[in-house]
Amino acid sequence: MKKRTGDPWMSAAEYGRSLTGLGINLLVADVGRAVAFQRTVLAAEPVYADPDFAVMRGNGSEWMLHADHTYDRHPLRRRAMENGERGSGMELRLHGRDPDHAEAAALAAGYEVLASAADKPHGLREAYIVDPDGYVWVPDIPLKR
């Protein structure tokens, strides 16, 4: 059941028609909590957010968050709940977000850092940070030559 009151910033159909390229949509227990993590740790900003849905933007990318309750009749929610931790085995990479800054923000806010910022042989400096829904975000920047 939807929790939003009032009208969204644009209709779902209008927003759907505007999407191109690869899209990411994450099911989250609490949209506000997910937005807070992403603002604090990833330096992402909400394009739009309400208790049911959010569109986030950071480092040239845009992605969506849907509250669990908006998928109450969708098989994807059942699958996510049955399999335990969401996003297990998946990395959500945010290219261009300094991993040292993200790690410091995560630790200051009490979030789990799975792996501290480190230089990797594939040419990136990256950190692995777990959000409140169990998704693993990997902010990264290219190493200087």
pLDDT (0 to 100) of residue 71: 80
Q: How confident is the model at residue 119 (pLDDT cuts 50, 70, 90)?
A: very high
Tokens of 145: 């030559």
Asked whether the beta carbons of 98 and 116 are under 8 A apart, the reply is no
Give the Cα-Cα-Cα angle 16, 17, 22 (nearest 5 degrees).
70
Q: How large is the average pLDDT for residues 74-92? A: 70
**Alpha-carbon separation of residue 12 from 45, 49, 61, 88, 93 (angstroms):** 20, 13, 19, 29, 26
pLDDT in tens, 14-51: 776 776 666 788 989 899 999 999 999 999 999 999 99
pLDDT (0 to 100) of residue 82: 67
pLDDT (0 to 100) of residue 90: 78
Residue 62: strand, helix, or coil: strand
- Domains annotated for the chain, with CATH where assigned, are 12-142 (3.10.180.10)
Tokens of 130: 């777990």
Portion of the chain with pLDDT greater than 70, in percent = 84
